[in-house]
Structure formats: structure tokens, C-alpha cells
A and B are shown apart, each in its own frame.
Chain A
């Protein structure tokens, strides 16, 4: 019974720390009394529950470690690798057919739109972080530039979604280059903080430039995307989608249309990325992630190569932003906080930086699961944060961490293990 005694002692020590950690917060709740003064209450049961749960969890973890000394992760990886080749087509077919499933509530198609938006953002950021290995903590800036470009152009000049889409992308790419030009010689975390700062600057400007952007109140009333001039309106009648096809107008038609737009945009991002990856530019990005000095010795213009990664990533971020603004018909600075950048970055890293399929899986987990947890309300984000930590500990390289060669001499195209692939320093 020695190991048990040791485990108990260990768990008791952990429980003591838990007591110190939870004590002031769970055990001693603050509240304002009638007079408005702060008072302190007590919640001994809740505290005991929390500390007890930690004690038992620690005990359970120790017991688990004793029975399963080997980690389970490697087996899981191999299984996923083998499945990777047919998971992608299956997911694609499902993604295309999903809105047409009979009886599917509108809310699910809407969730599909949301997830697909993040898939697109993830694929866009994957170019910068996953391929070029540049840590960008301010990706939301380009999302915001795209959204506000669309809103301002459509509200001031009366252009529709489809005319604004390329403009929004180009403006975002332009900002990407403007940001990238001065700062891309910075290394690692210096680059990270400057991109973060840039994201914050954009947000502060759109919050405070009230005459242009409406400030914290945001902008309202952007046109919805139309299908070859057909509007989606509940009223029906001539000039609307339902009227043209002589069907009853229903909300799902509009949602499904939005869904197919974002699906097409996301697939465009994916297609361009996959094409570029097999070409000199994409290979140069990956080489840059592996070793910048060697790239320079081979005559690769490091700064321009990084700039193209930034610009193309930003371009797709701008697309996504434009779509977001059109879908909501309303945008405000609240949609473009650091939390957004962090979420998209988490999707990329969780997916396994560089893997396109990984981004899809991670977006489903990161966006889909919290939406399903809506009923948990204030606990939702707490669970979300815990999940991030736990997933990272269990799978530090993300869901799909292997790399597929872009060109092969022989027939066999093996996969390259995660331990050999660098994550870049830039």
C-alpha cells in the first residue's frame, strides 16, 4: 500500500494548493450591499467541492499514470494519417450537401456559415503561420480592414457585395504589405508583438474615428449578397430569389446561399494555397520556416518572400471580413478584438500548423463545440480555455502534424514526421 500512501500525500498537497487558489475566489465572494459598499460573503460548500474535485482528479490522474505508463498519442497519429486521404473528400461532399439535407434547422446552416468563416480565416492565417512560420498575433486587423472596406464602400458608393469583394481583399493585402514592409526583419516574438500592436491600432482607430466608422456603434445596413441580381427577401415577389423560381420564400434559402458563398471562398483559399505550396513561392515559404539563413545563401529574397506570405494571407482575411460584414449587415469594433486573432491562431496551431485538413477539424472543434455549449452560458468560455490548454498538452503539434512532400522523384510519397518539421522562428 506504499504507492497509495504516496499518491494520497501527493493529492493532498495538490489539494492544499487548490485551496489557496480557489479560497479567495470561490470561497469568499464579493458583493455590493444595499448601501453600495463592498461586503464579503462565504461559500464553504462550493470551496470544499472544488478542492475535493481537484483532490480526486489528482488521485485519478496518478492512478491512470500507473496503469498506462505509455502515452496514447502516437497510435492516434498513425490512425489519423491513414484516414487523412479519404477524410478530406468525405468532408468536402458533406460540406457541399449539408444545407440541402431535408429538415435541417436553419440554425445549423447558420452554424455551418460561422464554422466555414473560421475555416477560411484559418486557411488564410495558415499561409503566414503554418507555411512561412511567421507568428502573426494580429490577423484580425485584415479581417477588420476587409469588413470595414466593404461597409464603407457599399454605404458610401452604393456598390454591392460582389463588386466590393475584390476591393476588400486588395485593400487588406495592401495593409498587409504596409505592415510587413517595416517589421519583417524583426525576429520571432518581436514580430508577434508588433503584429498584435497593429491589430490593436486598427481596432482603436475604428473605435475612435467616429465620423467615418460610427465608432463603437458600428455601421449598419450593408446590402446582402445577391445571386445574379436576385435578392433574398422574405416578401417574395419579382426580383427576388423565391419569386424568380416560384417557390415559397424561406429563411434557409438566404442562409444556404451565404453558406455556399463562404464555402466557395474558403475552397478558393484552399485551392490557391495548395497550388502555391507545390510551386517555388510556397516552397520558399516553407524553406524560410525551416532556415532563413540558408534561404539567403540560395539567393532567395527573404523579405519579399515574407511579404508575399503576409499579403496573400491578408488578402484572404480581407475576403472573409467582407463576407462577415455582408452576412451580418452590421459591424462594430467588438467583432475585431484580440480574442478573434487568438481564436484563429489557436485553430491553426491546434490543427497542426501547415495542415489544411487540420484547420477544418480544429475549426469544427473550436467554433462548433462552444456553440453547442451555449446552454452553459458563463461557463462556456471557461471550458473553452481549459480545452485549449488540455488539447495543447495532449497534442502539442496539433491534430495533423505531419507534412506531405510537394514533389517526389519516386512513386512513394511518404509523410514527414512532425519532429523534423520546424515551426519557424520569425
Chain B
């Protein structure tokens, strides 16, 4: 029981991070129907900007201020990355054949990974824990269930970011424009919505969310390298598909589920096969629910 609770906490924390990245995948998929393979690497860029900013601020005594600066700087830089990637690698291919943007995205992903490797080195970079300690929730026969402050902070930040994001998508003109372009880009353009601008903003927002996830990943694990984007990206993409690609709540749900599957599989079965478990469950879910958990069921128009 206590052990299960601990895995639940760990799984939810990890799942929040996956969920944040998954939103970027699902937004881009929803609006231009492509798998943005480079998104996981934008997450990695976010983590790196975080570590660079935090290193630059060594000596600053106020941890919250340092974190705030790291989050904001990372979100801005990643927003620029997302914007530029779309402009350079995807926009020229919009409306083209569907495999071309996919390959372009894979190319972009290779570029980003190797660019960081070349410019910042292939070594793992580590930072000390900035928010140490935690609260003991339960002590059952010597097994201590810990909720670290870091985990609590991740959950709170994620919920705050998601709340702001939900408000943005559901209540603002920008959100309306995004949903309109997603439904029918041509019609939206005819009605005077600047689709180029809307798509750019989608990339910027998705990348900023990935930046948040990246900085939180850095804080949670304390170690990053240029390759973290691949694994996290594939997991988050899996989360987006599991939840039903195109569905924003689905992305978060899928992320949480994948975090939980990983945590529980590691806790009760073998750590080695946790990723295999995630992928197998994805395949099984899709067999029975071909559009994911919350995806719109595609009606065959004849």
C-alpha cells in the first residue's frame, strides 16, 4: 500500500512532464496534421537553457527568483526555436505531400541533437538539487512514503501552466483562431484569420510548454545530456497518441497514464522492460480504441 502510494506519486510527477511535452505534439498535429519529430529536442533545448541560466546565476541566493528566470528564459528561447523551426523546415512544405514534413522533422531533430552536442559537448551535465527535502506522508513498517518538495513544485507548476494554457485555448481570440484553423484552415483563412500567424503561435506555445517540461526535468533528475530529447519525445508522442492525438485533455491524460505505467512497472515488474510495457500498452489500447482514449472517432465518409 505504502509502496503503491510512493509509485503513484513518482508516476504522476513524471506523467506531468510527459503531458506538458505531449501537448506540443498534439497541438501541432491538430493544426497542421504533422508529427513534429523535433519537438522532443525542443524539450532538450529547454532543459539546456535552464541549466545554462542556473549556472550563470550561481551565487544568487534566492532560489525562487533563479527558477523564475530560468523558466522564463527557457520558455522565450524555446519559443524562438519553435517559431524558427516551423518557418525554416515546415512552412515551405505545408500543403505538400505528407511524408516530406515528416522527413524534414526527423532531419531537424538530428540537427538539434548534434548542434547541442557540438556546441555544449556530449558529456552529461549535472546540477545539485535546488529544492531539497520533502514531507513524509506515511510510514508503514519502515517503508517511508516521501513527497519531495520538488515533486510538489512540479505538480503545482504543471497545473498552473495547464490552467493558463486552457484559458488561452478556450477563452481568448487566439485560442478561437487556433481551434478554427484546426477545424478547417481554408475556411478560417477566408474568414480573415491569419493562419500563418496562428500556426506560428501554436509552435511558440507548444515549445514554451516543452521548455517548462525541460526545466522541470532538469530540476527533478538533476542530470541532462543532448540525447534526453529522443526518449522523452517518443514517450510524449506515445502519450499524445494514447490520449487521442489532437485532443488536449487527451495529451495530459496520456502523459499521466504513461508516467504511471512506467512507475508501477518499474516498481512491481522489471525496470528494464518499463519502456516495452509502455509501448505494448499503447499497441493494445489502439487495437481496441483506434483513435486513442479521448480522440475524435473518425467517421468514414463515403
Residues of A within 8 A of B (CB): 17, 20-21, 23-26, 28-32, 38-40, 129, 135, 182-183, 185-187, 189-190, 192-194, 196-198, 200-201, 204-205, 207-208, 293, 338, 342, 345-346, 349-350, 353, 378-379, 381-382, 384-389, 392-393, 396-397, 418, 423, 425
Give Cα A25–Cα B112 distance, bound, in whole angstroms. 11
Check B97–A396 contact: CB distance below 8 A: yes
Q: Is B84 an interface residue (CB 8 A)?
A: yes
Check A200–B84 contact: CB distance below 8 A: no
Check A189–B241 contact: CB distance below 8 A: yes
Give Cα A85–Cα B57 distance, bound, in whole angstroms. 64
Give Cα A129–Cα B76 distance, bound, in whole angstroms. 38
| CB-nearest residue of chain A to B115 | A382
Check B286–A382 contact: CB distance below 8 A: no
| CB-nearest residue of chain A to B287 | A182
| CB-nearest residue of chain A to B119 | A25
Q: Would you give the shortest CB distance from A390 to chain B, in whole angstroms?
A: 8
Point out the residues of chain A lying under 8 angstroms from B302, CB to CB.
293
Inter-chain pairs besides A187-B298, A379-B118, 15 sampled, C-beta below 8 Å: A39-B55, A182-B283, A193-B241, A193-B282, A197-B280, A197-B283, A198-B279, A200-B275, A201-B280, A208-B270, A208-B276, A350-B103, A379-B114, A388-B110, A423-B99
Among candidates A197, A386, A425, residue contacting B107 with C-beta atoms closer than 8 Å: A386
Check A192–B280 contact: CB distance below 8 A: no
Interface CB pairs A-B, < 8 A, 15: A17-B80, A25-B48, A196-B234, A205-B273, A208-B272, A350-B103, A381-B113, A384-B110, A385-B108, A388-B104, A388-B110, A389-B111, A392-B89, A393-B89, A393-B92
Q: Is B199 an interface residue (CB 8 A)?
A: no
Check B127–A38 contact: CB distance below 8 A: yes
**Tally of contacts, chain A with chain B, CB under 8 A:** 178
Among candidates B92, B99, B103, B118, residue contacting A388 with C-beta atoms closer than 8 Å: B103
Q: Would you give the shortest CB distance from A191 to chain B, in whole angstroms?
A: 9
Check A135–B99 contact: CB distance below 8 A: yes
Point out the residues of chain A lying under 8 angstroms from B237, CB to CB.
193
Chain A contact surface mostly: helix
Give Cα A353–Cα B99 distance, bound, in whole angstroms. 9
Check B77–A20 contact: CB distance below 8 A: yes
Q: Would you give the shortest CB distance from B138 to chain A, in whole angstroms?
A: 32
Point out the residues of chain B lying under 8 angstroms from A189, CB to CB.
29, 35, 241, 245
Q: Is B67 an interface residue (CB 8 A)?
A: no
Give Cα A382–Cα B111 distance, bound, in whole angstroms. 5
Among candidates B106, B115, B292, residue contacting A342 with C-beta atoms closer than 8 Å: B106
Check B55–A40 contact: CB distance below 8 A: yes
Check B286–A385 contact: CB distance below 8 A: no
Q: Would A28 and B56 be within 8 Å (CB), given that A183-B287, A382-B118 are in contact?
A: yes
B83-126: contact bitstring with A at CB < 8 Å (1 yes, 0 no)?
A: 11000110011001111111110111111111111111101011
Point out the residues of chain A lying under 8 angstroms from B29, CB to CB.
189
How many interface residues does B have (CB within 8 Å)? Answer: 72
Check A389–B107 contact: CB distance below 8 A: yes
Among candidates A32, A183, A349, residue contacting B286 with C-beta atoms closer than 8 Å: A183
Q: Would A388 and B107 be within 8 Å (CB), given that A24-B52, A382-B114 are in contact?
A: yes
Ranked nearest first, the 9 interchain pairs of A and B with the lowest CB-CB distance are A388-B107, A385-B110, A197-B279, A385-B111, A396-B100, A382-B114, A208-B272, A396-B96, A389-B107
Point out the residues of chain B lying under 8 angstroms from A342, CB to CB.
106
Q: Is B238 an interface residue (CB 8 A)?
A: yes
Among candidates A198, A204, A396, residue contacting B275 with C-beta atoms closer than 8 Å: A204
Point out the residues of chain B lying under 8 angstroms from A192, CB to CB.
35
| CB-nearest residue of chain B to A380 | B114
| CB-nearest residue of chain B to A188 | B98
Give Cα A196–Cα B286 distance, bound, in whole angstroms. 14
Point out the residues of chain B lying under 8 angstroms from A353, CB to CB.
99
Give Cα A293–Cα B77 distance, bound, in whole angstroms. 45
Q: Would you give the shortest CB distance from A299 to chain B, in whole angstroms?
A: 16
Give Cα A192–Cα B109 distance, bound, in whole angstroms. 17
B287-302: contact bitstring with A at CB < 8 Å (1 yes, 0 no)?
A: 1001110000010101
Q: Is B232 an interface residue (CB 8 A)?
A: no
Check A393–B241 contact: CB distance below 8 A: no
| CB-nearest residue of chain A to B125 | A30
Point out the residues of chain B lying under 8 angstroms from A392, CB to CB.
89, 93, 100-101, 103-104, 107
| CB-nearest residue of chain B to A347 | B103
Residues of B155-208 whose CB lies within 8 A of A:
none
Check B116–A25 contact: CB distance below 8 A: yes
Point out the residues of chain A lying under 8 angstroms from B108, CB to CB.
385, 389
Check A381–B110 contact: CB distance below 8 A: yes
Q: Is B51 an interface residue (CB 8 A)?
A: yes
Q: Would you give the shortest CB distance from A231 to chain B, in whole angstroms?
A: 39
Point out the residues of chain B lying under 8 angstroms from A385, CB to CB.
107-114
Q: Would A20 and B80 be within 8 Å (CB), given that A385-B108, A388-B106, A389-B108 are in contact?
A: yes
Give Cα A285–Cα B78 distance, bound, in whole angstroms. 42
